[in-house]
């Protein structure tokens, strides 16, 4: 079976703030422990670096409890950053706070002019960006994003994030250019028609927020049946603890902006 690798040269992460205890969540199962969060985050950064990528960890932003989830305020395509407009009021300022870093790291920076879009609602393949309408991402934002994405050589396809799911990528991830890992309920919407879909195992929906980062698939620990499915399909699986991020509705994809810069520009 072909498992074409996706090559990322860089990732940007943000250290979790002590204020992550005030992070947004749909259901309160207790606050994350900042020290434990920092340990899990450090292991995550180590796993990204182990693939050979240059990983920059930006300093924590105490004013923004959810800022460790750096995927939400920006999208990087072809080395160009699009500053998004996070849909939660407490997160709206994260894009402006991140912008100077992306000016330093990326070939260009473009601002989404209107609407609301969270990066967690954008799943990119080699050719298209699937953008999920959700409580955080609205039609005005998707309409404003479309020409920006198309100018960078991608199609934009509007999809629906089912109402009970925070972000489209809470329940899906790209494993290779043709294959998506998704929960059965998201796959059942038909939005992945044309892709090969590997479904998470029963009771393991939270495993869907994985990332293919160069050779390995990084998967949250504690989902043995989904791990087995991926291994059986030929993927190298690296399991990482995400117990603290999960308490504030986060997972593996949310904690990095992953991109490729072929000539090493921005390699700091
Ligand atoms: C939030 O509700 O915005 C954060 N507590 C979790 C964000 C997770 N981000 C993501 O799925 N891309």
**Is residue 124 flagged as an active site residue?**
no
Spell out the domain ranges in the chain. Answer: 10-259
Token match 């989830």: residue?
A: 69
Q: Alpha helices of the chain — where are they, by DSSP H?
A: 34-49, 94-105, 139-151, 184-187, 224-232, 243-247
Closest residue by CA, ligand 1 atom 7: 250
Given 41, 106, 167, 191, which residue is catalytic? 167
Ligand 1 site-directed mutation target among 71, 248, 255, most atoms within 8 Å of CB: 248
- pTM score above 0.85: yes
Digits of tens for pLDDT over the chain (268 positions)? 457 777 899 999 999 999 999 999 999 999 999 999 999 999 999 999 999 999 999 999 999 999 999 999 999 999 999 999 999 999 999 999 999 999 999 999 999 999 999 999 999 998 999 999 999 999 999 999 999 999 999 999 999 889 999 999 999 999 999 999 999 999 999 999 999 999 999 999 999 999 999 999 999 999 999 999 999 999 999 999 999 999 999 999 999 999 998 664 443 3
* Widest pairwise Cα distance in the chain: 47
Task: Find the radius of gyration of the CA atoms of the chain.
Answer: 17
Burial 3-29 (b: 16+ CB within 10 A, else e): eeebebbbbbbbbbbebbbbbebeeee
Residue 210 neighbours by CB distance under 10 Å: 31
Q: How far is the CA of 67 from the centre of ligand 1 (A)?
A: 9
Closest residue by CA, ligand 1 atom 5: 24
The separation between the first and the last C-alpha atoms of the chain, rounded to the nearest angstrom, is: 36
In sequence order, what DSSP letters do the residues of 12-78 get, joined into one string? EEEPPPGGGGG---SS---PPPHHHHHHHHHHHHHHHHTTT-EEEEEPP-TT-TTTT-TTTTEEEET
Give the annotated binding-site residues. 24, 66, 71-72, 91, 136, 248
For ligand 1, what atom is nearest to the CA of residue 91?
A: 3
Give the annotated binding-site residues for substrate. 24, 66, 71-72, 91, 136, 248
Q: How far is the CA of 250 from the centre of ligand 1 (A)?
A: 5
**Is residue 167 flagged as an active site residue?**
yes
CATH of the domain spanning 10-259: 3.75.10.10
Q: Please work out, in degrees rounded to the nearest 5, the angle formed at the alpha carbon of residue 68 by the alpha carbons of 67 and 74.
A: 65
> What residues does ligand 1 touch, defined as CB less than 6 Å away?
23-25, 66, 69, 71-72, 88, 91, 120, 166-167, 169-170, 248-250, 254
């Amino acid at each position: 079976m072909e498992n074409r690798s996706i090559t990322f040269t860089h990732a940007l992460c943000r250290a979790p703030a002590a204020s992550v205890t005030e992070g947004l969540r749909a259901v309160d199962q207790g606050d994350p422990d900042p020290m434990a969060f920092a340990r899990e985050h450090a292991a995550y950064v180590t796993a990204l670096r182990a693939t050979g990528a240059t990983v920059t960890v930006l300093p924590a932003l105490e004013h923004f409890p959810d800022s460790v989830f750096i995927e939400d305020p920006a999208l990087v395509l072809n080395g160009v950053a699009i500053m998004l407009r996070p849909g939660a009021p407490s997160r709206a300022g994260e894009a402006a706070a991140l912008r100077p870093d992306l000016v330093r790291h990326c070939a260009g920076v473009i601002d989404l002019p209107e609407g609301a879009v969270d990066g967690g609602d954008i799943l990119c393949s080699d050719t298209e960006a699937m953008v999920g309408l959700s409580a955080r991402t609205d039609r005005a934002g998707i309409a404003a994003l479309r020409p920006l994405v198309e100018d960078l050589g991608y199609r934009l396809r509007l999809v629906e994030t089912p109402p009970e799911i925070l972000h489209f990528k809470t329940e899906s991830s790209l494993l290779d250019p043709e294959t998506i890992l998704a929960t059965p309920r998201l796959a059942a919407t038909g939005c992945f028609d044309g892709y090969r879909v590997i479904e998470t195992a029963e009771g393991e929906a939270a495993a869907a927020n994985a990332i293919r980062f160069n050779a390995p698939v990084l998967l949250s620990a504690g989902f043995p049946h989904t791990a087995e499915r991926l291994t059986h399909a030929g993927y190298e699986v690296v399991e990482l603890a995400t117990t603290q991020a999960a308490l504030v509705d986060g997972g593996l994809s949310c904690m990095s902006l992953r991109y490729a810069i072929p000539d090493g520009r921005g390699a700091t």
